[in-house]
Structure 1
Amino acid sequence: MKLDVIKLDGGKAGSVELNDALFGLEPRADILHRVVRWQRNNAQAGTHKVKTRSEVKYSTKKIYRQKGTGGARHGARSAPIFRGGGVYKGPVVRSHGHDLTKKFRKLGLKHALSAKAQAGELVVIEDVTTEGKTNVLAKQVKDLGWKRALIIDGSDVNEAFAKAAKNIEGLDILPTMGANVYDILKRDTLVITKAGVEALEARLK
């Protein structure tokens, strides 16, 4: 597929031929869902923890005699039935992550790129060369109509642009190797530099 290339100031800079194997697929929600779920589960800390019966601090003395009280038989105040007792089968520190093959993760990224292209939310920009001034860049972004945008640069992010974009709300920038399904789908507009397109095609070939 062919897409027009623009400059940061909104001017035209020719066109680029996008690989249909990356940008021309029919997006599948099930694939995108599985990859996003894998990403979010791996990011989850899993530091939740409650004390079990063996960890709460109570005397181990039998709380009352076994027979003759007319009540249930209990041996310790740490039992889950009592207030302040241990929690039965509560959460423990663990990893929520699970495996997903490299092939499937790569496929998910292709479908995410295709989803943005199909929705008309993909923009190819010549480069992100800037003066390094936040107010200048903020005006350019506003004129281009990018409210929640992710910019994918080449193998390295332009330092001046990254510094200028740091304090602009709703604008994120990533190198090609940092491109991922969750961040792409989270933003309204996906902006890729020409260098980024080439690097993505080399990464996902």
Structure 2
Amino acid sequence: MPKVPVFNINAEQVGEIELDERLFGAALRPDLMHEVVTMYLAGQRQGTHKVKGRSEVSGGGRKPWRQKGTGRARQGSIRAPQWVGGGAVFGPTPRSYKYKVPKKVRRLALYSALSSKVDAGTLVVLDELQLPEIKTKHMVALLKKFNLNKALIVDAEKQDNTALSARNIPNVKYTDANGVNVYDLLRHDHLVLTKAAIQKVQEVFA
């Protein structure tokens, strides 16, 4: 089993912890991670784009000229697509881009993303993360102690003081164990987990 050091909020090592081999020692699968990230980003799309077809634009209620005898091409409406101000052909309409990949694939991709942090040495484990008050500077100071710039911070349960202290820091995201996903893991350079978060992640996803 992978074994990593445990630190307190002063960046002092206070012990070690063994990680679940299935979650933090899995084989890296870039193909599965790509598939799951693509699914995640597709689900974030609003899909509210809309253009008007020929039946929706105003005007064009009558035939612009008679069918025969004018020497011009026959036309049925001045709002046909070939006319200026006419309707769009095959334009985007509201739709959902969401789709799902199998649950097993999502799990394997998550294991791979977690394991990549261990392999790269970018996993930081804290014994606990309790801030005395809501102050962004407390969180900034904590990140500086560990030399973290772009970090995903995960606790077992969201703490209001920590969440409010971290929300205005660029490239830093704070979430609970249930909110861990492949996209956030890959998007952030470092992963910060509390001991309680590790236990919760192993219970939920293993």
TM-score between the two structures when normalised by the length of structure 2: 0.94
After superposition, give the CA deviation of every residue in 1:122-164 in whole Å (9 maximum; x if it has no partner). Answer: 111111112223223312211211101001110x112222222
RMSD: 1.3
Aligned pair partner of 1:150 in 148, 152, 158? 152
Question: What aligned pairs does 1:35-114 form with structure 2 within 5 A after superposition?
Answer: 35-114=36-115
Q: Which residue of 2 aligns with 1:18?
A: 19
Give the unaligned 5+ runs of structure 2.
none
How far does residue 54 in structure 1 lie from its aligned partner after superposition? 0.7
Say which SS state the counterpart of residue 145 (structure 1) adopts. coil
After superposition, give the CA deviation of every residue in 1:92-132 in whole Å (9 maximum; x if it has no partner). Answer: 00000112222222222111111222222111111111222
Say which SS state the counterpart of residue 135 (structure 1) adopts. helix
- Paired letter, 1:123: V
Question: What aligned pairs does 1:142-181 form with structure 2 within 5 A after superposition?
Answer: 142-154=144-156, 156-181=157-182
Say which SS state the counterpart of residue 192 (structure 2) adopts. strand
Structure 1 runs of 4+ aligned residues shifted over 4 Å read none
Say which SS state the counterpart of residue 13 (structure 1) adopts. strand
Say which SS state the counterpart of residue 48 (structure 1) adopts. coil
How far does residue 168 in structure 1 lie from its aligned partner after superposition? 2.5
How far does residue 63 in structure 1 lie from its aligned partner after superposition? 0.8
Q: Which residue of 1 aligns with 2:194?
A: 193
How far does residue 80 in structure 1 lie from its aligned partner after superposition? 0.5
Quote the Cα distance in structure 1 between the aligned partners of 2:73 and 2:123.
Answer: 68
Q: Which residue of 2 aligns with 1:138?
A: 140
Quote the Cα distance in structure 2 between the aligned partners of 1:142 and 1:22.
Answer: 28
Quote the Cα distance in structure 1 between the aligned partners of 2:146 and 2:119.
Answer: 20
Say which SS state the counterpart of residue 110 (structure 1) adopts. helix
Give the unaligned 5+ runs of structure 1.
none
- Paired letter, 2:26: L
How far does residue 188 in structure 1 lie from its aligned partner after superposition? 0.9
How far does residue 195 in structure 1 lie from its aligned partner after superposition? 0.6
- Paired letter, 1:40: L
Quote the Cα distance in structure 2 between the aligned partners of 1:43 and 1:140.
Answer: 31
Percent of paired sites with the same residue: 39
Quote the Cα distance in structure 1 between the aligned partners of 2:138 and 2:98.
Answer: 42
- Paired letter, 1:187: H
- Paired letter, 2:193: I
How far does residue 68 in structure 1 lie from its aligned partner after superposition? 2.9
Quote the Cα distance in structure 1 between the aligned partners of 2:25 and 2:142.
Answer: 29
